[in-house]
Chains A and B, each alone.
Chain A
């Protein structure tokens, strides 16, 4: 079974803090993704990575950056957290031999920025 883990289930930070969200997958997947999920807005793609050290902007990259130094790990960085970044953050990976684009999600991190 694919396992995608995220560093925290719940996180509370203050405005202006630098925030790191980490995601690890154990299936040797090529692709990793960061989404945020807000009520009524569905899943919105922030960034994704298709290889180590490679990244591409998604639909809402402003205010975020990412890092992929190792294949199994994809980090989302909020350089200076703001209250409008309070949200559920979901990491996903894909690259299965059977179905290359099926995504497997982590449990999510609910971030509150005060």
Chain B
């Protein structure tokens, strides 16, 4: 079945260091979405990428969608303690209706102040 893989599963950085998480889909995606879950919280939508090769920025966060629309990355420049949490990527399901999202297992980021 359709799979979305994320690496790494965990990442620990010193405050000020950069961080990148990678997402790979077994199928071509019409779009990819990124969510952030703070400790004790729930996933919150960050952004959606639709076009092949698309790059979007949100302050220190840079999101990329691969040319083949099968992979994506999230890069955080100069991490801060507020970046702590688990980052999930998700793509529309290809089986049955498109209402479903298939989520990666997430990358848990911890930041040492």
Contact residues of A with B, CB < 8 Å? 30-31, 33, 40-43, 45, 48, 50, 56, 58, 90, 92, 94-95, 99-108
In the bound complex, do residue A90 and residue B105 qualify as a contact, i.e. CB atoms below 8 Å apart? no
A103-B101 CB under 8 A given contacts A43-B88, A90-B42, A108-B42: yes
Kindly identify which residue among A41, A42, A50, A101 contacts B92, using a CB–CB cutoff of 8 Å: A101
Distance of B47 from chain A, by nearest CB (Å): 10
A43-B99 CB under 8 A given contacts A101-B92, A102-B33, A102-B48: no
Distance of B102 from chain A, by nearest CB (Å): 9
A50-B97 CB under 8 A given contacts A43-B43, A102-B45: yes
What are 25 A-B pairs at a CB distance below 8 A? Answer: A31-B99, A33-B100, A40-B105, A42-B88, A42-B103, A42-B105, A48-B99, A50-B97, A50-B99, A56-B96, A58-B100, A94-B101, A95-B99, A99-B48, A100-B99, A101-B31, A101-B101, A102-B48, A103-B45, A103-B90, A105-B42, A105-B43, A106-B42, A107-B41, A107-B42
B44 on the A face (CB < 8 A): yes
Contact residues of B with A, CB < 8 Å? 9, 31, 33, 35, 41-45, 48, 88, 90, 92, 96-101, 103-106
- Count: A-B pairs, CB below 8 Å: 54
In the bound complex, do residue B106 and residue A42 qualify as a contact, i.e. CB atoms below 8 Å apart? yes
Which residues of A have CB within 8 Å of B9? 40
A48-B100 CB under 8 A given contacts A90-B43, A102-B48: yes
Distance of B72 from chain A, by nearest CB (Å): 15
Distance of A103 from chain B, by nearest CB (Å): 6
Distance of A65 from chain B, by nearest CB (Å): 18
Distance of B11 from chain A, by nearest CB (Å): 15
Closest to B103 in A: A43
Which residues of B have CB within 8 Å of A45? 100
Closest to A104 in B: B45
